Amino acid sequence: MMPMQNSNRERRWAWGIALLYGCFVVFIIGLIVFASSQDFPLVEQDYYQKELRYQQRIDQSAGSLALADRLTIELGENTPTLTLSFPREFDAARISGTITLYRPSDPDLDRLVQIDATQMNTQIIPIGDLRPGLWYVKVDWHHANDVYFDEQKIVIE
């Protein structure tokens, strides 16, 4: 009678190991199906081309940092506005470029604004319609033949 109990016990171990491996395989397949169904949107569609222009952007940022009177970006305290103040020694009529309000978590919310500096070398952008959260203000601007780039993080509450 003893030999039968060992055989029965060995079968239970075999079934247990087979069940463990089976559950592991089902778990791995489920994980693969779940991971492949996730949507991972690119933050920027043409990221590769932008990466190739990265050195140019570094040079533009260095030029902006070298200015004695730099571009300032301020978030309005009482009103939902963004105020950009360009260097005072620059002629407002010769300042041009774009301001990108970039939302890292949702590229559909990005906004592009053309620079239109006033006589005081400032530009005020209403931001009351922007969603709360982290935004990047990217200013790609030109004065005469010089190209500059400034970037600043802001948090809209």
* Long-range contact set of residues 31-39: C-beta below 8 Å, sequence gap at least 24: none
Domain range holding 93? Answer: 47-156
Note whether 129 and 76 are same-domain residues: yes
Dihedral sign for Cα atoms in the order 57, 92, 70, 78: negative
Q: Are residues 36 and 52 in the same domain?
A: no
Q: What is the predicted pLDDT for the residue at 1?
A: 47
Q: Looking at the structure, do residues 62 and 115 belong to the same domain, yes or no?
A: yes
Full-model pTM: 0.65
Number of domains within the chain:
2
Per-residue pLDDT reduced to its tens digit, 87-113: 988 888 889 999 999 998 888 889 999
Token pair belonging to 132: 């709360």
Return the CATH number at 70.
2.60.40.10
Average pLDDT over residues 28-57: 80
Answer yes or no: do 62 and 116 share one domain. Answer: yes
Beta carbons of 135 and 155 less than 8 angstroms apart: yes
Q: Is residue 131 domain-shared with residue 54, that is, in the same domain?
A: yes
